[in-house]
Amino acid sequence: MNPTTPPSALTTQGATQQLNTAPIARFRMVGILGGMGPAATVDLVQKIIAATLASSDQEHVPMIVWNVPQIPDRSLFLDGRGPSPAGAMCNAACSLARAGAEAIAIACNTAHFWADEIAQAANLPVIHIVDAALAEVFLERQYAQQTAQPSPRNIMLLSTDATQSLGVYAKRAAQHNITLLSPSRADQQVITDVISLVKAGQTEKGRALILPMLTTQLQHGVDRFLLGCTEMPLVVGGTQFEAKSIGATLALAKAIVRFSACTLAEMAYPRVNSSNNNERNNAFGDQVA
């Protein structure tokens, strides 16, 4: 894969027949596979609404939200300490498909380990949070190059242990020449504790725990934090570190808005500083058919 080509946020395995580039006179229904956790799902929905340029109710993204927190814990399963969540997630995706969803968005980074399986089960595309987030990195670097500003290079991934160890981000980032830093073992434990606190409704306690760690990392040369867990924006948002962060949840929200409101052909944008003016490249996290 060309490392200068930005990521596509659409996983279409088992669902190619669902996609076309014909003009449409309606918004596409998006199914939100959430509950992992519930507050993070609400945060995604709120970000979708905020990212939509709408002047009336009818111009907002139609969504079906599956906010069912009884899905087995993803990290516990991957650590060999719990049942698989795959069946519950696939059943949920099938329910969203039957309800009219035309694509699935998963409000959990770790759950994207099963993205292809979910897409196949529902026979729908998955708007991929990792590729949407990496597209934001790509865009930020292009903008920095265009405006002669420092480009973010030392990007630290803040995510679950499972997302780190399975390479959910690293494998796809490597395809696009993006290197992500991993926290130390001690800092990763802080992140794990913060995620648990947010899931337990103790967001302020989680925020107080993580802010000193973020301060230290900036002092040691990190210039961006990639919020690769949907609980992370709930503690980083509204702090001085938000401006130094690339939020995967916000990136996914933007990709959902584009999928719902546009044909796939309209999602292609000219590449910044492209040597070929006719070359069209997707720099915004969506597949171009």
- The residues annotated as belonging to the active site are 108, 229
Distance in angstroms (rounded) separating the CA atoms of residues 139 and 145 = 10
DSSP 25-58: SSPPPEEEEE-SSHHHHHHHHHHHHHH---SSGG
Helix (H) or strand (E) holding 103: strand 103-106
Helix (H) or strand (E) holding 127: strand 126-127
Report the candidate in 15, 207, 216, 194 with the shortest Cα–Cα distance to residue 102: 15
SS (H, E, C) 142-157: HHHHHCCCCCCCCEEE
Distance in angstroms (rounded) separating the CA atoms of residues 53 and 265 = 20
Report which DSSP code applies to 168: T
Which residues, in sequence order, are CB contacts of 181 under 8 Å at separation 6+?
Answer: 154, 155, 156, 157, 222
Which residues, in sequence order, are CB contacts of 29 under 8 Å at separation 6+?
Answer: 62, 63, 64, 100, 101, 102, 260
CB distance 109 to 230 below 8 Å: yes
Which residues, in sequence order, are CB contacts of 130 under 8 Å at separation 6+?
Answer: 7, 109, 112, 168, 169, 172, 228, 248
